[in-house]
Structure 1
Amino acid sequence: MHEISGFIKEVVDQTEVNLRRIHALGVKKVGIASLQPLGCLPRVTVVSSFHQCDEAMNAMMNLHNNLLNQVVAKLNNEAKQLTFVYLDYYNAFLSVFKNKGASLGSTRFETPLKPCCEGDCAIVDKKGVKKYTLCKDPKSAFFWNDVHPSQEGWSSVYSVLSKHLSESLIKA
């Protein structure tokens, strides 16, 4: 775990260097997205029949995101203005998973960690037989496949982020 923590710190340190370069070019606003809870991806949650996230993996995402948030705060403090906007994907995703999308709009994700497409999505064999199965209602799936949120999934995440995002980008 110590090696992974060191690697995460190196990644965030390099991100800080890159953000400083972008700011030096005169860019007025920069959105920096946190990592989503990768321990909740269907390719990870399949071992729990899509019911439980991998908390050890998510702890690594939290370490990265906490360090990144500290960098964003430090850079904004140095710039004496809100130049860098931290987009908290991690908690937005968890909010959708926890509420199953119910409080965010019309979409309801009964099993938010389960993908709509299972198997080798979009692959057919030589005879044209599908190597995958699709859910009955794709709009009811947060994830399209084992790693990518569906359009409905992203829409729900944006619903969580939208107020903060709008406020942060409008501020001078």
Structure 2
Amino acid sequence: MDCRSTKFLVVSFSLWLSCIHAIQTGRFPAILAFGDSILDTGNNNMPKLLTVSKSNFLPYGRNFPYHTPTGRFGNGRVLSDLVAEGLGIKNLVPAFRSSFLKSSELPTGVCFASGGSGLDKFTASIQGVIWVKDQLKDFQSYIQKLSQEVGDAAKVKEIIANAVVLISAGNNDIAITFFATRAKKLRYNIETYTDQLIDWKTAFVQNLYNMGVRKFAVLGTLPLGCLPGARQMSGDLICLPHVNHGAKIYNQKVANLVVKFRQSLPDGKFVYIDMYNSLLDVIKNPSKYGFRTAKPCCCSVMTPIPCLDSGSHVFWDFAHPSEKAYKSVLPNIVSVISNNLA
């Protein structure tokens, strides 16, 4: 074993201890997730939601318990589940719109995120999914149901104020609405469009704050130009630099917004989660993290037949990391949340 391998094992063990520490302390009573498919645990499953952005069929969920496709956009658990487990809250975060949601799950949190959604109403409407702003309506309904379950207004307020709130929004706005559909190109350039996204995100966070949320973990976008769906545009030769450039512009503005919120909303706690660089390192150095390839395992033009071992692939499909890839970046996320929001 060379020095680099030894160093990686030491760092991985250290981060693993951080996860265990968070589990043992159990400082957060609940987790609430808003946004897109990075966090969605099945809200798009509803039959009356007329969208093709669904994943409640095989081979999705192939590595989920009992090989069950749950509507999660991956081979197993997604980031919201893994963060919840890493923080010692619970192993699975139920979708709020699920017909199987148990009222006993409400005090420890639910997921409102919708695969394909975004801050831009156009992004959600072209796919027929739940717009991020409309997820606030679901949150209001959640508070009412939580009040019925708990039966104590002060306890409800305490749960909401101490819950970790994950927000992942912007991936689809940039990758699909701006670069793929070009629907906004006549009105915006990437600078002005990302400014508009930040305005919408500011209003969204402010609304959550007004509804009692106090602990925010705001995720930046993935390296969108390196997703398999983007790379296939170059014949899978390179990441698309202009798309990554747009993602970086947006992420810097999100990071700056988090700093502003710390100043303007001192009763809240805010942390920025860098998804871009952490996942980019996994994509560029797959063997370092125990992967064989950064190509998708299934469900894309490049892989019409699902691979046999999803654990050897960074990506599950054309846009979504595998469960193992999420786990590769998880320890740092859990550490950042635990150290800054507790």
TM-score of the two chains, using structure 1 as the length reference:
0.79
Q: Distance in 2 between matches of 1:48 and 1:152?
A: 26
Q: Distance in 2 between matches of 1:78 and 1:118?
A: 44
Whichever structure has more strand as a proportion of its residues is 1
SS of 1:61 mapped into structure 2: helix
Q: Is the 8 A contact 1:82 1:168 kept in 2?
A: no
How far does residue 26 in structure 1 lie from its aligned partner after superposition?
Answer: 2.2
Match of 1:138 among 310, 313, 325: 310
1:29 and 2:211 matched: no
**Which residue of structure 2 lines up, in the alignment, with residue 76 of structure 1?**
262
Residues 98-121 of structure 1, C-alpha deviations (whole Å, 9 max, x = no match): 33262xxxx512322x10115479
The 1:153–1:44 alpha-carbon spacing in structure 2 relative to 1, beyond 3 Å, is: same
**Which residue of structure 2 lines up, in the alignment, with residue 5 of structure 1?**
191
Q: Is the 8 A contact 1:101 1:156 kept in 2?
A: no
Match of 1:156 among 328, 333, 336: 328
Q: Is the 8 A contact 2:279 2:329 kept in 1?
A: yes
Match of 2:200 among 4, 14, 39: 14
SS of 1:149 mapped into structure 2: coil
**Which residue of structure 2 lines up, in the alignment, with residue 128 of structure 1?**
none
The 1:26–1:118 alpha-carbon spacing in structure 2 relative to 1, beyond 3 Å, is: closer
Q: Is the 8 A contact 1:39 1:58 kept in 2?
A: yes
How far does residue 76 in structure 1 lie from its aligned partner after superposition?
Answer: 0.5
Match of 1:116 among 297, 300, 314: 297
Which amino acid is 1:115 matched to? Answer: P
The 1:30–1:101 alpha-carbon spacing in structure 2 relative to 1, beyond 3 Å, is: farther
Aligned length: 156
SS of 1:146 mapped into structure 2: coil
How far does residue 157 in structure 1 lie from its aligned partner after superposition?
Answer: 2.2
Q: Distance in 2 between matches of 1:49 and 1:157?
A: 27
**Which residue of structure 1 lines up, in the alignment, with residue 229 of structure 2?**
43
How far does residue 49 in structure 1 lie from its aligned partner after superposition?
Answer: 5.0
Unaligned runs of 5+ in 2: 1-184
**Which residue of structure 2 lines up, in the alignment, with residue 64 of structure 1?**
250
Which amino acid is 2:273 matched to? Answer: L
**Which residue of structure 1 lines up, in the alignment, with residue 286 of structure 2?**
100
RMSD: 2.4
Identity across the alignment (%): 29
Q: Distance in 2 between matches of 1:38 and 1:111?
A: 17
Q: Which has the higher contact order (CA 8 A, sep 6+)?
A: 1
How far does residue 9 in structure 1 lie from its aligned partner after superposition?
Answer: 0.7
The 1:118–1:22 alpha-carbon spacing in structure 2 relative to 1, beyond 3 Å, is: closer
Q: Distance in 2 between matches of 1:117 and 1:74?
A: 41
TM-score of the two chains, using structure 2 as the length reference:
0.42
